[in-house]
Amino acid sequence: MTCSHAFCTIIPPFVLDKMARSSRPEVAENAREAQEISDAVRIERGARAVARGATGEGTAAERKVYDSEQTRRQRVTRARFEDDPERADVDVNVVFEHAGTVRAYLTEALERDSIDAAGMDLVLNVHYGKKYSNAFWDGDEMTFGDGDGEIFTSFARSLDVTAHEIFHGVTQYLNGLVYRSQPGALNEHFSDVFGSVITQVANGQTAHDADWLIGNEIMGPDLPGEALRSMKAPGTAYDNDIMGADPQPAHMGDYYDGNEDNQGVHINSGIPNRAFYLVATDIGADAAARIWYAAFQGLDSRADFDAAALALADAAGTLTREGRAPVGSTQSVRAAFREVGVLG
């Protein structure tokens, strides 16, 4: 099972739905265009899933940044490849650097050779579409829009967005968590965990002084201070006329069991997100990230929150015995999941 029919965007569909109904015509039009692109890419993606192999070309993962030149096509012109010098285009250089940061984290912290653990190249497309308000992983590469400049700024300039999307690729090869319901929320959660942790490492922050926000860097001048998600306080990331209000629960008591958003993949991820925050602030983000990566390696593609919590407690025990997580990690994991209503 792979993520091949999972088209993983950073802006959840319910935010675009809300924006598409905006009284501001340009906002509504921009959101409708992003929705239309989501539908078109999903269909196209299905058709070429078999045609283009997604495995690595050697063991040394190279960065390949392409410029879509405002078209809806990928790999249009070579913008910056691994050994190319810096370019004039800020988006190209920033996404190139961020992809390098994520690659280094995979190698050094997780001892994983790129997305597929076999040196897969990191292909990144910038300037996709006209003012396209989204970024996505489509099964084999990352693609970023420029945003409209008012609600959202360039998606290519945010490290947590880039790390989040690259980790959808990691999940695809690691356990293939199905992009629906609880396994889908765990898939989203895993991307948020590493989007956040890699940003903390890059900024030299600890779990205590990190902001724990996802997508705050892509908010434009119309939405100062807002974010897409808060791992620390799910449900508080945004509340405004343009996006609506953040629907994320922080506890199983508020679990969303509707059909929207692939049965709440970007909604119920708030529950394990909060658990990760609790563990990271207790034992440190580095140890927490090691535990999460180890546990998720063994997850079934249809794992639910209970299965993930049990696997995390097991992994915490193993890593504690190996001296790679502090004593008390198992109890910390268990306490965190009890606090969000998953265990016990």
Binding site for Zn ion (CB under 5 A): 8, 188, 191
Contacts of 201 (CB under 8 A, 6+ apart): 105, 109, 285
Catalytic residue among 98, 127, 164, 266: 266
Answer yes or no: 266 catalytic.
yes
Closest contact distance (angstroms) between CB of 321 and Zn ion is 33
Per-residue exposure over 242-272, b if at least 16 CB sit within 10 Å of its own CB, e if not: bbeebbbbbeeebbbeeeebbbbbbbbbbbb
Which of 14, 318 has the CB closer to Zn ion? 14
Catalytic residue among 165, 168, 188, 226: 165
Closest contact distance (angstroms) between CB of 344 and Zn ion is 29
| Residue 61 burial (C-beta neighbours within 10 Å; 0-12, 13-18, 19+) | buried
Tokens linked to 195: 């989007």
Which of 178, 283 has the CB closer to Zn ion? 178
Which of 231, 313 has the CB closer to Zn ion? 231
| Residue 321 burial (C-beta neighbours within 10 Å; 0-12, 13-18, 19+) | exposed
Helix axes 329-339, 305-321, angle to 10 degrees: 160
Closest contact distance (angstroms) between CB of 205 and Zn ion is 22
Residue 310 to residue 271: CA distance in whole angstroms: 15
Tokens linked to 231: 């791992």
Which of 171, 332 has the CB closer to Zn ion? 171
Closest contact distance (angstroms) between CB of 202 and Zn ion is 19
Catalytic residues: 165, 266
